[in-house]
Amino acid sequence: MKKLMAANWKMYKTRAEAKATAEELVSRIKGKLPEDREVVIAAPYTALATVGAVLEGNAGCSLSAENLYPAEQGAFTGEISPAMLKDVGCTYALAGHSERRSIIGETDELVGEKVAFGLANGLSMILCIGETIDERKAGEVQKVIDRQLEAGLKDVPADFVPETVVVAYEPVWAIGTGEVAGEDEIVEAHGFVRKKLENIFPEKASEIRILYGGSVKPGNCAQIIALDNVDGVLVGGASLEGESFSQIALA
Ligand code: PGA
């Protein structure tokens, strides 16, 4: 299984900035990315075509959207469909990032619809899950993971290819805070995610990648991806510079 090193640029970067960052990243990892590693950049919609053009032809590098809307087309002002994303070169999309859940108000059900619709329309989907600090303090980590996985994977097409479903465990309290989760916390949560995946998809669970996200940096990435059931990382802040993300990609 290839480790997936994913960047999430959120609402940062004009096209010129995106181009410069992607070019720097590519120049630093070209010819160095191990066979068993994949790099994905999730960029804002306006930068997708630009970043896609830089990544094109670079083995092991793919383009992702940060979101999608679960419909083919129609009167959905401000939204974007999987077909439109594929048209600009995306092969991945994120669904259910905690910022979309908490700021935009996305529900577990909507996130599940996005995952299912994206997969059915040929995108690989990165389903983001994770508990808030209050939920952790209340001892509800497993309850939250269970609920978010159950709803997020509810309508996944039965014949899905396991590599196209990715779960990113991102404890909300570790995102953008510099407070990376402890190794025991990561191992415990990822082990629980794997168990839950085995319940839902007994035959495919071992091939579904589980990423860790939340304050991943060049200095902590190698330790994190060496942990049990950690099949890659989803990186926000430290992915915004080509140099630091190249260190993560090659860690
Ligand atoms: P961070 O963000 O790396 O800045 O903590 C992670 C994410 O939001 O995916």
Residues 131-139: what's their mean pLDDT? 97
pLDDT interval class at 200 (50, 70, 90):
very high
Residue 221 clears pLDDT 90, i.e. is over it: yes
What ranges do the domains of the chain cover?
3-249
Q: Is the CB of 81 under 6 A from ligand 1?
A: no
> Is the per-residue pLDDT at 35 higher than 90?
yes
Cα(236) to centroid of ligand 1, in Å?
Answer: 4
Residue 216 Cβ inside 6 Å of ligand 1? The answer reads yes
- Per-residue pLDDT at 97: 98
Cα of 186 vs centre of ligand 1, distance in Å, is 15
Nearest CA to 7 among 161, 217, 148? 217
| Token pair recorded at residue 150 | 């159950």
Average the pLDDT over 3-14 and give the result. Answer: 98
The predicted pLDDT at position 223 comes to 98
pLDDT reported for residue 235: 98
158 band by pLDDT with thresholds 50, 70 and 90: confident
- Could you give the CA distance from residue 153 to residue 204 in angstroms, rounded to a whole number? 13
Active site residue 203: no
Q: Is 243 a catalytic residue?
A: no
Point out the ligand 1 atom lying closest to the alpha carbon of residue 213. 6
- Say if domain 3-249 classifies as CATH 3.40.50.300: no
**Matching residue, tokens 């059915």:** 120
* Ligand 1 within 6 A of CB of 162: no
Average pLDDT score over residue span 212-218: 98
Average pLDDT of the segment spanning 226-251:
98
Give the pTM.
0.98
Tell me which residue has its CA closest to atom 7 in ligand 1: 236
Residue 152 CB–ligand 1 contact under 6 Å: no
Confidence of residue 124 (pLDDT cuts 50, 70, 90): very high
pLDDT score for 95: 98
- Is any atom of ligand 1 closer than 6 Å to the C-beta of 64? no
Q: What is the mean pLDDT of residues 134-150?
A: 98
Q: Which atom of ligand 1 is nearest to 216's Cα?
A: 3
